[in-house]
Structure 1
Amino acid sequence: MTTLIPDDGQFKNAAKEKQAVTRNLGELLWVQYPGHFNQALSKAIVTPETVGSRFFDHRISCYEPGAYVENHVHKVQEQIYHVLSGEGILTVDGERRLVRANDVTYIPPGVHHEFHCTGTDTLVFLVITSPPTDEEPQPR
């Protein structure tokens, strides 16, 4: 028996078609996005590109020791970082915080932040972002 692995576009219209989607993380490729360095990898689980979600972007990230995302800020996006394992330094508006498993941080729009894996093990965390793009809403 052969198990087919869905490509990233297979569920692209799930939200529009009102179709529930179940994904297994093993189906998804690790990607290093711009602004991420030294094996700061992520898998896009639920995004507009993968399932057609309209209100959020959900990813899992895996940072090797020394990996990081550079300091950045979002205009309209809110983010939640939920650490599953490992530890690192999350800098939020210049304040350095040691975060580890079971720590959850909410980052509102306009707050500068960066995340470094400073531990000796891999830092694994979920990133939930809403809205999925950092575009200012257009007047109707």
Structure 2
Amino acid sequence: MNLISHYKNIKAYVTRDGSEIRELMHPDTQGNKLQSLAEAIVKPGEITLLHKHIKSEEIYFILQGEGSMTLGNETIQVNNGDSICITPGTKHNIRNTGNEDLKILCCCSPAYSHDDTEIAQGAI
């Protein structure tokens, strides 16, 4: 079975961390089984809420822009072309420090779930 999604048909929504997401491939919509792939957009000057995922390992690939990312107890600078692995249970967020949209390709295994996302206390 071949699974395909078309970007033009995918509606964006806002996740619990405050980023705009397009689920490019997700078990709930395309029928794949073990992972999800999404595009996240963070507007200039915006920051996502500090959060963690209990079960999912997440990989970010920076498609466009630049940012400052909190990853556990570290703050790192990220730029176009960088990849970041976020292990389950690691608090993280990202701030767009540039003048254009920060676009991130997000891979989650197991697939992204709102129920697997915990917002850090004091982050709301």
**Common fold by TM > 0.5:** yes
Structure 1 CA distance for aligned equivalents of residues 34 and 84 of structure 2: 19
Q: Give the corresponding residue for 2:96.
A: 117
User: Could you list the runs of 4 or more consecutive aligned residues of structure 1 that deviate by over 6 angstroms after TM superposition?
Assistant: none
Partner of 1:26, secondary structure, is helix
Alignment coverage as a number of residue pairs: 114
Q: Which residue of 2 aligns with 1:128?
A: 107
Structure 1 vs Structure 2 CA RMSD: 1.6
Larger of the two Rg values belongs to structure = 1
Pairing of 1:43-122 with structure 2 (within 5 A): 43-122=22-101
Q: Which has the higher strand share?
A: 2
Distance 2:17 2:87 in 1: 19
Q: TM-score, normalised by structure 1?
A: 0.75
Q: Percent identity among equivalent residues?
A: 25
Gap runs ≥5 in structure 2: 118-124
Measure, in 2, the Cα distance between the counterparts of 1:77 and 1:22.
23
Quote the Cα distance in structure 2 between the aligned partners of 1:62 and 1:119.
13
Q: TM-score, normalised by structure 2?
A: 0.84
Kindly indicate whether structure 1 or structure 2 has the higher relative contact order, using CA contacts under 8 Å at least 6 residues apart: 2
